[in-house]
Structure 1
């Protein structure tokens, strides 16, 4: 198969939502349809019975939440699908934000009873900024929930999207009879005592067909006709070009736990979702069908298998083909590296692959060469843009709780920070280490992983910091900058890349500092060259 055809048949997307909207369950059901797994693991109310396929870290199994993005690949109707299942919990949002740099489209999952929640708003905002095509899946229709039209209004208003339903529910909760699929013009009936299986899919192109009354009852059929009339009058027709430009968002209804509406979502997704898209670097825009390989690291995961201290760098291939045992240029280090066992993923199961194409995600064994945002090429010197670190919101001193294990603690902190789990700041004044995280739960994850994966114990100490700001002086040799460093010495630290950071103890301090030193810029994102 030609390079262009191989790239065209790849679809890489992320699944995002607020916690508990059913994102991991939907991922499992998509894998089930793709024949990638034989039976789904049920994730129920934080008690993991048979852990979900995509939640493979020990702490995830205990908590019943996803704390790291997992990568899953499968084939469906000759399309190679790469799913990135992201954490929904807000404390792990930074991992999700970075993952969104590696996807070509997203599916947003919304709970029919809870509607649009806070975390969904934040994530969709990032997708809108990046112009990522979005499909919306309204989940849990077998439960009582909000009216379909109210939900569509809420999505339009709160998420600032332009929606068009491609399927529509017939009833809801106890009265849920099935779904009318506007994309394929058919009815899917929901049946069985436990209502776990789809009885059949029946082609009904003409809604006036009396067969519809026989199938769902005349009352439900009449309501459906009225509702679909409103749909065609109120919402725009689906237009793929508008969807690809992120100007129109199709909506599907279903119940992932009961496998309902998932096949319809998947069939439409492979028809309309984009193939790998071009990406901007610091020198030019790179197209996926270029011959030369380029890619970037968007995630690093230590100890995917605790028995082998392995560390994997997840690389999104942007252009060309990545081949095993071929030397590629690590642009930041300016040295060539060869990889003898690049991995393709299926949650924690990994397979060695000889060749991967633009759009694919490969895992490279890493001995400490990689940081998030690193670029690999066949020789061209360029860096991919826009994989920033965000200013943390929680800060604590980290202390060694077991002096005999200092080396293990050093190594553990070093590797977990490279993963982007949190950020490390070293105070200029006394060399003390400060951990900054986006969410408070991250501290627990770090403590747990240091003990279980590195055999090191740490304790935390409270620290009053309002914001970490990256310092960017107009003139690093100016008297103003020298005065700033002298006056604010006890608030200054270096991050892992050696960039100067100002740890402001309050919003007022930050405001006064900005006024006093007008020629120094304070950034809330580390990659200010490309963001400012």
Structure 2
């Protein structure tokens, strides 16, 4: 029996009952029981860290992430029976713990769990696939060391697959691909691999080939170890190793060579052997795969069908064999005492405690704060310090999460993901033991694209209404609440209709607040298209000290590819305005761009340049110059040819080919720009850029056009200028509401 086979067939559940003190296995058994760490060799922590994997499972909506996680939990002994996402038993998957998730069959919140595979501890975060909940993916990837990108064997690389891959690149996360649903009609893993190369520009290759496809999908050939594996039993728990079927020997040899070529392009050690035509052993190939995955130069592709219980155990082996442990990923903090100098975090238990609060939830016993520990040890009952606020707090309760279940523990070390109760903090705060003042870099938070006016149906519910909005804002950085100064209405903003709909429904269920919701409103922006000069004198005399401030300069548009939304530049020569007033002038411009004069939305893509001015020895003040800048902007804004920007969405639509004409016609009516079309089996796939303002009610329209067979996803692309007629329409609508 080979090494890979022996690992597959090892009874994982034996770990929990085993009493043999065998190195890391014994440590993990004690660790999961919540017992304190025994005295150990000073370097033993490195061996222990080598046995930890922190991974996330991400994908396009409905690719099978939660189904895959359910199988992982079953095969590793964390759950005793399998439940489906939309199962007939009404239980639902373990990781979809919210009632809303089980009812709608989608993942809304990321959920954390942990399990044991062999002698390795795997911490898993299952993330949503819908673009409206993209912040859940962002914050999971911020704290993970590796990830699995799940792809549908039929749909392949879809719109949200591209978004998730972009997020993984942003945080430099090593990853594996799992081509799922190979049992479905039209499944073609080789087409998916081609899409990974062409659409996502990955250097990738298959580590496995399927034995049969669709209804004939029986098992997999492992190209690294040159063995075939079959999955049997009620839930595919019995894994049988065999020789490669004769009709696949030649094909397997060809694909193994392609795998070695792909890795040789990025790994010098393997390239030397490959070019010398030396035989490459399984362990040498596996080591090369691991090196190239960790260095982000190679993307290995696994295959299977989570729903049909095939291939998941091999994927778990891949996680252990090829994804990095916490100390193989470089993490750093910013030392606030040394002007944010970068400090490498080694993961040592003897170092100062450094942990990042990456997710908040309202638990049964108060706020639940998820922490990723990067260095040191956190212990129950000890004091920790919030580096962002300077507050010192005690750790009253430390738990390890399993979806919505909790296991109390006494301590946790670097590389672990835990949760703490009763700590008041915000998402993104860094905690230390107080001996250092380190902060971790924050995650990327996308801007909301849609708003709703919302009011509680009864006055009695006002307190719960405010409590719910405050909680949701703390939990989700993409959920914003503001007050419309003119109408007095409460405005909630988020990433899309579904995002806001979920929060309105959660308010009703969790806080018993019925709400009246206004028509969705798009978050427009304003900008300028040409340069305009300003020369404004703010002078006020009304007894006592007056106000005096003169600013001269110009405003101009920033380049479209600029990442900044606003720039202020002081090009003044001499001391016409004392330098201590310059920050106040910048503040004045910042305040002015909060509301443009066209439709009252924020102004962006703008640079304000100060070239001259004047000050008074007695009457000049910070307030005077702040007001001078504010009024100077309003004075010259109209001369800069302002225009309105609207959010444009990238829409991917999939429907049977016979409906292609009507669907394309409808997208044209909505002023969509079709940028791509193709065919997948009997379906057409259309990609278009459509203004968000024209996408309301599209799901209902698409269903009626395609007899319920069409589906679509959309994500924010950019803010783009509206046409002149739309601009006039928006301005006139605003006037009507004010009149």
TM-score by length of 2: 0.61
Q: Tell me the alpha carbon deviations over residues 375-418 of structure 1, each in whole angstroms, 9 at most, x when there is no partner.
A: 10011112110323221111223323221121111111111110
Gaps spanning 5+ residues in structure 1: where?
A: 492-501, 525-532
Contact 2:179 2:301 survives alignment (8 Å)? yes
Superposition pairs of residues 262-277 of structure 1, within 5 angstroms: 262-276=312-326, 277=329
**In 2, distance between residues paired with 1:151 and 1:442?**
29
Aligned positions of 1:131-150 closer than 5 A: 131-150=172-191
CA distance in 1, matches of 2:376, 2:262: 43
Residues 243 and 347 from structure 1, CA distance in 2 versus in 1: closer, same or farther, beyond 3 angstroms? same
Change in 2 beyond 3 A, CA 1:341/1:290? closer
| Cα contact 2:205–2:262 (8 A) shared by 1 | no
412-421 or 308-317, which deviates more: 308-317
SS for the counterpart of 2:438 is: coil
Residue 439 of structure 1: CA displacement?
2.5
1:340 deviates by 2.1
In the alignment, which residue of structure 2 is the partner of 1:74?
115
Distance 2:46 2:259 in 1: 38
Alpha carbons of 1:232 and 1:197: their partners in 2 closer, same or farther (altered >3 Å)? same
SS at match of 1:260: coil
| Contact in 1 for aligned 2:480/2:494 (Cα 8 Å) | no
Q: 1:150-165 alignment to 2 at 5 Å?
A: 150-165=191-206
Distance across 2 between alignment mates of 1:389 and 1:200: 43
Q: What is the aligned length?
A: 487
Higher relative contact order (CA 8 A, sep 6+): 1
Matched residue, 1:171: 212
**Structure 2 contact 207–302 (Cα < 8 Å) conserved:** yes
Is 2:567–2:608's contact at 8 Å kept on the other side of the alignment?
no
2:288 equivalent to 1:248: no
Do structure 1's residue 337 and structure 2's residue 359 form an aligned pair? no
After superposition, what is the alpha-carbon deviation per residue over 1:159-187, rounded to whole angstroms, capped at 9, x for unaligned? 22111221111221123232101233211
- Kindly tell me: are residues 383 and 394 of structure 1, through their superposed partners in 2, closer, same or farther at Cα, counting changes over 3 Å? same
- Based on CA coordinates, which of the two structures has the bigger radius of gyration? 2
Cα shift readout 1:311-355 (whole Å, capped 9, x = no counterpart): 211111111211111101111221211112111011111011101
Per the alignment, residue 347 of structure 2 pairs with: 288
Residue 128 of structure 1 and its aligned partner are, at CA, apart by 1.4
Contact 1:170/1:224 (<8 A) preserved: no
Inter-partner Cα distance in structure 1 for 2:479 and 2:568: 22
Q: SS of the counterpart of 1:44?
A: coil
Alpha-carbon distance between aligned partners in 2 of 1:361 and 1:411, rounded to the nearest angstrom: 28
Question: Per-residue deviation at 1:137?
Answer: 0.6
Q: Which runs of 4+ in 1 moved over 6 A?
A: 468-472, 516-520
Maintained 8 Å contact 2:75/2:237 = no
Equivalent residue number for residue 516 of structure 2 = 459
TM-score calculated relative to the size of structure 1: 0.83
Deviation at residue 464 of structure 1 after TM alignment: 4.1
Which residue does the alignment assign to 1:301? 361
Change (3 A) 1:122 1:111: same
Q: C-alpha separation between the residues in 1 aligned to 2:365 and 2:521?
A: 32
**Structure 2, gaps ≥5 residues long:** 1-39, 265-284, 336-342, 527-563, 570-580, 612-628, 630-646, 648-739
**Match of 1:96?**
137
Partner of 1:201: 240
- Residue 370 (structure 1) aligned to one of 425, 429, 443: 425
The correspondence for 2:289, drawn from 219, 229, 239, is 239
1:344–1:351 CA contact under 8 A, matched in 2: yes
Residue number in structure 1 paired with 2:542: none
Aligned CA distance change for structure 1 residues 56 and 149 (closer, same or farther; 3 Å): same
Other structure's SS at 1:100 match: helix
Given that residues 392 and 467 in structure 1 are in contact (C-alpha distance below 8 angstroms), is that contact kept between their aligned partners in structure 2?
no
Worse overlay, 419-428 or 48-57:
419-428
User: Aligned partners of 1:128, 1:147: CA distance in 2, in Å?
Assistant: 26
Deviates more, 1:411-420 or 1:283-292: 283-292
Map of 1:118 onto structure 2: 159
Deviation per CA, 1:215-247: give whole Å up to 9, x if none: xxx4x5555555556555667564322210111
Query: Per-residue displacement from partner, 1:18-45 (whole Å, max 9, x unpaired)?
Result: 1111111111111111111111111238
Instruction: Work out whether 1:257 is the aligned partner of 2:307.
Output: yes
Aligned equivalent of 2:460, options 404, 411, 425: 404
Compared with structure 1, are the counterparts of its residues 346 and 487 closer, same or farther at alpha carbon in structure 2 (3 Å cutoff)?
A: closer
- Equivalences for residues 374-389 of structure 1 within 5 A: 374-379=429-434, 380-389=436-445
Q: Secondary structure at the match of 1:239?
A: helix
SS at match of 2:516: strand
The answer on 1:3 being equivalent to 2:45 is yes
Q: 1:127 to 1:275 in 2, by over 3 A?
A: same
